[in-house]
Amino acid sequence: MTFDSKWRNFRRLNEAKEESQLSSPFQKKMKRRRRRNDIYTTMGGIKNKKSGQPFTGKMQRFGTSRLRFEGIAETIEKAALKSFDIQDSLEPEIWEGDKLNPEVRDNLLKIVKDFLIDLPFKIEPEDITLTGSLANYNWSKYSDIDLHIVMSFSKIDENVELVRELFRNLQVNWNAKHDIRMSGYEVEIYFQDSEEPHISTGLYSIQDDKWLKKPQKETIYLDYANMEKKARDLSDRISTIESMMQTDDLDTVLDTVDRLRQKIRNMRKTGLEDTGQYSVENLAFKVLRRSGELDRLAGLKAKVYDKSLSLPE
């Protein structure tokens, strides 16, 4: 079966699925509220509007000399509080000088090759890239190997949103099924549309074995006091929603979860656009993610669903 025929089959199946009606009113509501631009996959690295330059390099703190985070002290490791510090070099287990470790590169290329072979149709990527903190100096124990498969979505089909949804499902399924680690860092696969801008302070072509955008270091300043305040406030709101599960109706809880998730998305987006990846808003988001608070928030939707279908004892 050719690519075109397989794609037409996928489109027909998708259209049939969209036309079908779920039996449960709650399931209909959950489907209508399907998340977009998930806060866990949004990319950082926006440039500083004032200087026009990317934020990379060594940091100096002001405000408090250390983070306390009393509100979520039990869930945050001390290492997480230092994980925003800029390193003196690229991760030596991943890089050899300014070149990707050959063994790491070979394994990443094999992962992509094996992944694409298992797809229902043949895809030829325009590039395979490494981005994120491991392609920069702000790597830490919390970093992932962000492996991007780059291609033009519109060349696959004019319905770009459908293509994006397909690729999102494929990458989510793969990442959920596999736990491949290199030097302790988990490999995460993503599809990237080459026709959309991808702003990053470090970008390496694994396919061509060269830098597309080499990271630079500079001194930056972090407002740890306000970062702590924002992270603690959002953590408290998540706890409040959990307590609502006991007293409020499920629709109200669901609405509250959605509003808070949107607030966090907007907060991070605003920080990235105004100041960059080291903005108070973006780093507060990262503190919440590294402490497991965002997973706790995401899990509330599943809890609402389970409770809606449970019968009293």
Work out the average pLDDT over 109-124.
88
- Per residue in 117-129, pLDDT tens? 888 778 889 999 9
170-204 in b/e form (b: 16+ CB < 10 A) is bbeebbeeeebebeebebbbbbbbeeeebbbbbbb
The predicted pLDDT at position 274 comes to 84
pLDDT at position 39 over 60: no
**Stretch among 15-19, 68-72, 270-274 having the lowest mean pLDDT:** 68-72
Kindly tell me if the per-residue pLDDT of 59 is higher than 60. no
Over residues 170-186, the pLDDT tens digits come to: 998 898 889 999 999 99
pLDDT of res. 35: 41
Is the pLDDT at 293 greater than 70, yes or no?
yes
Residue, of 255 and 10, whose pLDDT is higher: 255
What is the per-residue pLDDT for 135? Answer: 93
Instruction: Place 20 in a pLDDT band, splitting at 50, 70 and 90.
Output: low
Topology of 95-213 in CATH? Beta Polymerase; domain 2 (3.30.460)
Taking residues 243-261, report their average pLDDT.
Answer: 85
Q: What is the pLDDT at residue 51? A: 43
Rounded to the nearest integer, the mean pLDDT of the chain is 77
Residues 6+ apart with CB under 8 A from 169: none
For the chain, the residue count is: 313
272 strand-pairing partners: none
- Tokens representing 189 are 């696969």
Model pLDDT, residue 49: 39
Query: At residue 70, what is the residue type?
Result: E
Name the pLDDT band for 226 (thresholds 50, 70, 90): confident
Instruction: Check whether 15 has a pLDDT greater than 70.
Output: no
What pLDDT is recorded for position 113?
94
Q: Are strands 59-62 and 220-223 parallel, antiparallel or unpaired?
A: parallel
What's the pLDDT score for residue 302?
A: 83
Domain boundaries, the chain: 24-86+219-309, 95-213
Quick check: 279 and 272 in contact, CB under 8 A?
Answer: yes
- Of the ranges 70-74, 191-195, 200-204, 226-230, which one carries the lowest mean pLDDT score? 70-74
For residues 187 and 85, which has the higher predicted lDDT (pLDDT)? 187
* CB crowding 95-129: b at 16 or more within 10 Å, else e: beeeebbeebbeebeebbeebbeeeeeebebebbb
Region 29-43 average pLDDT: 43
pLDDT at 55 (0 to 100): 39
Better-predicted residue by pLDDT, 118 or 70: 118
- Convert the pLDDT of each residue in 268-278 to its tens digit: 999 888 887 77
Please say if the pLDDT value at position 139 is more than 50. Answer: yes
- Enter the pTM of the model: 0.62
| Rounded-to-integer distance, Cα 191 and Cα 7, Å | 17
pLDDT of residue 79: 56
pLDDT band at 212 (very low <50, low <70, confident <90, very high): very high
